[in-house]
């Protein structure tokens, strides 16, 4: 059975801190790993990673994938209160009837205090 | 449209009733997905439509759940004879084939 595990489950920091969120996975036929941010409603897309060792960056957020060790990290530097959200990691598998289906981790609840 | 649109945003119904949830994907997106997010649980895959192919229904929790996608666009998720454990947020997502999935705001379903 495909499995995605995120850690920590929750994290409380102060503005300006740097945080690292972890995601490990065990799936058959890995295709991609995605990070989403969920505030009140819809998860919003952050990154899609398919290749090992290539960092993706968007402003203060960055992410990298290690396909040998089966994990990814999401870094947020100089955190702001607006970064408070649930961060979701999901893995997509390739081939057969499962193609396109995302398996999600439990999420990391990040709280940033002023 | 600009994003994935779901309706209703909230639905409260009595146990045993049937409900229909609607999803309007991003225009041009060929793939459409339904997920469920229960309190304290992660997102759980329900069903996936890709173009004209047969849907992947492997995540539907029971035969009370069904979904259809008409004309390759709008989708309806139907839950028959609702139970209290069906209470959750039902999220729809769409993607352009191999691209990332983009989510709607969801329908919060409460079964009394």
Condensed to tens digits (0 to 9), the pLDDT of residues A35-67 reads 999 998 899 999 999 988 889 999 999 999 999
**B56-66: average pLDDT:** 94
| B53 C-beta neighbours (distance < 10 Å), count | 12
Query: Distance, in angstroms, between A19 CA and closest chain B CA?
Result: 21
| pLDDT exceeds 70 at position B79 | yes
Q: Which residue of A has its CA nearest to B42?
A: A106
pLDDT at B53: 84
Query: Distance, in angstroms, between B61 CA and closest chain A CA?
Result: 15
Nearest by Cα to B94 from B50, B44, B54, B43: B50
pLDDT at B39: 80
Taking an 8 Å cut-off on Cβ atoms, the answer to whether B103 and A48 are in contact is: no
| pLDDT exceeds 80 at position A97 | no
Taking an 8 Å cut-off on Cβ atoms, the answer to whether A101 and B91 are in contact is: no
| pLDDT exceeds 80 at position B1 | no
% of residues, chain B, pLDDT over 90: 78
Nearest by Cα to B33 from B66, B11, B55, B10: B55
Taking an 8 Å cut-off on Cβ atoms, the answer to whether B43 and A90 are in contact is: yes
Lowest mean pLDDT among A3-12, A77-86, B11-20, B52-61: B52-61
Taking an 8 Å cut-off on Cβ atoms, the answer to whether A105 and B35 are in contact is: no
| pLDDT exceeds 90 at position A93 | no
d(CA B69, CA A97): 17
If phi over 0 gives left and psi between -120 and 50 gives alpha, with beta otherwise, what is residue A70? left
Taking an 8 Å cut-off on Cβ atoms, the answer to whether B95 and A34 are in contact is: no
- Considering only CB atoms, B56 lies closest to which of A42, A44, A97, namely A97
**A82-92: average pLDDT:** 96
| pLDDT exceeds 90 at position B37 | yes
| pLDDT exceeds 90 at position A101 | no
d(CA B30, CA A55): 29
Query: Distance, in angstroms, between B16 CA and closest chain A CA?
Result: 27
Taking an 8 Å cut-off on Cβ atoms, the answer to whether B43 and A106 are in contact is: no
Confidence bin at A98 (pLDDT 50/70/90): low
3-class secondary-structure state, position A106: coil
| pLDDT exceeds 90 at position B86 | yes
Number of residues that this document lists for chain B = 112
d(CA A1, CA B59): 13
Q: Which residue of B has its CA nearest to A87?
A: B42
**B41-54: average pLDDT:** 88
Confidence bin at A85 (pLDDT 50/70/90): very high
Residues 6+ apart with CB under 8 A from B62: none
pLDDT at B83: 96
**B86-102: average pLDDT:** 92
CB B77 within 8 A of CB B87: no
pLDDT at B108: 96
């Amino acid at each position: 059975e495909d499995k995605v595990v995120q850690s920590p489950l929750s994290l409380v920091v102060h503005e300006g801190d740097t945080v690292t969120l972890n995601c490990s996975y065990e799936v058959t036929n890995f295709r991609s790993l995605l990070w989403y941010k969920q505030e009140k409603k819809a998860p919003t897309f952050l990154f899609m990673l398919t290749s090992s060792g290539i960092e993706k960056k968007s402003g203060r957020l960055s992410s990298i994938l290690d396909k040998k060790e089966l994990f990814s990290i999401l870094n947020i530097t100089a955190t702001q209160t607006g970064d408070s959200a649930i961060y979701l990691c999901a893995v997509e598998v390739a081939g057969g009837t499962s193609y396109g289906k995302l398996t999600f981790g439990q999420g990391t609840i990040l709280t940033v205090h002023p | 449209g600009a994003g994935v649109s779901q309706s209703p945003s909230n639905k409260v119904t009595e146990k045993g009733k049937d409900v229909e949830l609607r999803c309007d994907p991003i225009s041009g997106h060929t793939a459409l997905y339904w997920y469920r997010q229960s309190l304290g649980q992660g997102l759980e895959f329900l069903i996936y439509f890709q173009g004209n192919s047969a849907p992947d229904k492997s995540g539907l929790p029971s035969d009370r759940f069904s979904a259809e996608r008409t004309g390759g666009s709008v989708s309806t998720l139907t839950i028959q004879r609702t139970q209290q454990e069906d209470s959750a947020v039902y999220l729809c997502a769409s993607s352009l084939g191999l691209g990332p999935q983009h989510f709607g705001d969801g329908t919060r379903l409460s079964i009394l």
